[in-house]
Chains A and B, each alone.
Chain A
Amino acid sequence: MQAEASAVLARHNVTVSGAGGRTMMFAHGFGCDQTMWQPVARNFERDFRVILFDYLGHGRSDLSAYSAERYCDLQAYADDVVTIGRALSLNDAVFVGHSVSAMIGALATLKAPGMFSDLVMVGPSPRYIDDAGYRGGFSREQVEELLEFLADNHLGWSAAMAPAIMGNTDRPELSERLENSFCSTDPEIARDFARVTFLSDNRSDLGSVAARTLVLQCTNDIIAPMEVGQFVHAAVPRSEYRLLQANGHCPNLSAPDEVTAAIRDFV
């Protein structure tokens, strides 16, 4: 059991830091890895046990454990979250998910009630493609174009599955070599994850989410527009809604202090 748990943690490059009675788990979205949460996560280390991890195929996870057949929908990603949660014996923890991970977190609360009592959804969208009476912000053609772009263009995604940031200030040529060393993603897995993400429709799951939920909406987010955040807030029973001043899709990077404050107020 012990060995199995540590295998899970290694597979997802799980890092545990901080000290506190409660646990807060941060999950990255499409196109990135756990490093994107560091500017926010470090602010909670004083009073929370902080968990960061990479989905398979992202960051420094175990690429070989990935299978396109298995990861054909968001549920498979949610199952991995639950597996990590069990390996760490999580109870009444806080799950903070960015972008598609907001929905993955919602699915994880449904799969394992009691594991997460609080859910923070940063830039969530239960469906990206417009539908009758629903505006997700994307057309089907646009999603097809995105998938085609990702299939054709591997540049900039995989450059370095290299060892992380080296603190070699006296040998700058070493850090020079590590181009694009954050958020490295296997290009094929990135394309698969994009397909699963942007073709997902989890609107009908929102009503069953029992966790206390905070919806954090960004200003001018082309991935998750304003009305999508409001849709999520209206559909999730015990939810609060907060509009951030932060611009764009990644407030955890562009405005970590504002995101930290919003999460703190909520928990």
Chain B
Amino acid sequence: MSISPDGRIVKANRTVAEWLGLEPAQLVGTPLHDIFSFGARIAFETHLAPLLRMQGHVHEIALDLVTSGGEKVPTIGNAAEKRDSEGRHLFTRLTLFKAVDRRTYERSLVEARARAEAESEAQRDAIALRDQFAAVLGHDLRNPLAATSAGIHLLDRTEQLSERGRAILDEMKGCIGRASTLVDDLLDLARGSFGGGFLVERNADAPLAPVLEQVVSEARSVSLGNAIDLRIDIEEPVYCDRGRIAQLAANLLANAVTHGNAEQPILLDASTDSDSFMLSVVNGGEPIPEEILGQLFQPFFRGAARPSRNGLGLGLFIASEIAKAHGGRLEVASSAEATRFTLTMPARKPSA
């Protein structure tokens, strides 16, 4: 079709006339708008016409025509302005192709994308719900655990117990300790995914060594077989969140107790050099298969070969998040001689 500068059809071929159910002669003199659907008319006037004016042509545009019977004919097309040597607009040539299938295909792409977006939003909602559930569950489990723990404490201090009763009580203490750790891990997971990262409060107000000694002494009290050695060679104070470093060390020790060879001692080694703090936990036993080394720090990861007896699979994930939150990293190396987890992080407050 050819269109005059004032927007009227001056020439139309037989094909477009047939689409519209008219004779070519009937189209001559008709405003171009009149053969467009309303949507196409406004899109043309507000977007395509200005574009045509500015760049002289528009390519691959979608337009709906309307037949004399009111049916829509989806088309795609190109338009170009013919101008004279002084740049005056003479007429516009509009070339349209019927594009029923192509437009249906495009529409289904748009719909598919909308569906995919809705699904991913539903998934985000489900994850948020899961995190909330974990947070509420963890929080609500704390109270009965604290009450049970207080009860055990009372029995331990004030009641006369047989030797068997005392052994049972010691078992129960260990179980409560593990249950509390699991609940703390669960809460950390929920908080971590809520806020996108673990909160750590770093300072250098107190020494770290006594904290690590306490962690080792607690681990010894619940470890059945292993000896746990402690080697500390640090220049205090270390700029860190001591509660979090204790949690990291406890998680690594619990991991070593669970997975290591009970006959071989476990070593916790903490040291500093001029600017870094290093903490490693070493145990003997079967090496960790190479193919799962890379997944150890994923949440809910549990080694298939040696299923964890009493964990959610969050301990190493949380330890690694704590390392990251301190600007450091947690790494693992495993061989026939030993398995070693090492935290490396800055020991001093960064100067602003």
Q: Which of A145, A185, A222, A247 makes the CB contact (< 8 A) with B47?
A: A185
CB-nearest residue of chain A relative to B55? A182
Interface residue? A6 (CB, 8 A): no
Interface residue? A253 (CB, 8 A): yes
Whether the pair A152, B47 counts as a contact (CB closer than 8 A) is no
* A36-B50, A250-B50 given; A145·B39 CB < 8 A: yes
Interface residue? A107 (CB, 8 A): no
Whether the pair B106, A156 counts as a contact (CB closer than 8 A) is no
Interface residue? A149 (CB, 8 A): yes
Whether the pair B107, A31 counts as a contact (CB closer than 8 A) is no
Q: How far is the CB of B6 from chain A (nearest CB, A)?
A: 6
Q: Which of B7, B39, B103 makes the CB contact (< 8 A) with A150?
A: B39
CB-nearest residue of chain A relative to B59? A179
Stretch in B19-27, B60-68, B130-138 touching the partner: B60-68
- Taking CB atoms, residues of chain B closer than 8 Å to A149 are 37-40, 42-43, 64
Q: How far is the CB of B55 from chain A (nearest CB, A)?
A: 6
- Taking CB atoms, residues of chain B closer than 8 Å to A223 are 42, 45-46
Interface centre among A150, A183, A194 (most CB of B within 10 A): A183
- Taking CB atoms, residues of chain A closer than 8 Å to B262 are none
- Taking CB atoms, residues of chain A closer than 8 Å to B38 are 142, 145-146, 149
Interface residue? A116 (CB, 8 A): no
Whether the pair B37, A145 counts as a contact (CB closer than 8 A) is yes
Interface of A is mostly: loop
- Cβ proximity bits A182-220 to B, threshold 8 Å, 1 near / 0 not: 110100001000100000000000000000000000000
Interface residue? B293 (CB, 8 A): no
- Taking CB atoms, residues of chain A closer than 8 Å to B58 are 156, 179-180
Whether the pair B107, A180 counts as a contact (CB closer than 8 A) is no
Interface residue? B139 (CB, 8 A): no
Q: Which of A146, A152, A154, A254 makes the CB contact (< 8 A) with B42?
A: A146
CB-nearest residue of chain B relative to A148? B39
How many angstroms from the CA of A253 to the CA of B89 in the assembled complex? 12
How many angstroms from the CA of A148 to the CA of B43 in the assembled complex? 11
Whether the pair B62, A156 counts as a contact (CB closer than 8 A) is yes
How many angstroms from the CA of A35 to the CA of B76 in the assembled complex? 25
- Taking CB atoms, residues of chain A closer than 8 Å to B42 are 146, 149, 194, 222-223
Q: How far is the CB of A153 from chain B (nearest CB, A)?
A: 4
How many angstroms from the CA of A32 to the CA of B39 in the assembled complex? 16
- Cβ proximity bits A219-259 to B, threshold 8 Å, 1 near / 0 not: 00011000000000000000000000001111001100000
How many angstroms from the CA of A155 to the CA of B59 in the assembled complex? 9
Q: How far is the CB of B277 from chain A (nearest CB, A)?
A: 36
Give me the 6 closest cross-chain CB pairs, A-B, nearest first. A149-B39, A31-B46, A156-B61, A31-B47, A153-B62, A155-B62
Q: Which residues of B contact A (CB under 8 A)?
A: 6-7, 33, 37-43, 45-51, 53-55, 58-62, 64, 76, 103, 106-107, 110
Enumerate 14 A-B pairs (CB-CB under 8 Å) in ascending A order.
A31-B46, A35-B54, A36-B50, A36-B54, A146-B39, A152-B62, A152-B106, A153-B43, A156-B62, A179-B58, A179-B60, A222-B41, A248-B45, A250-B49
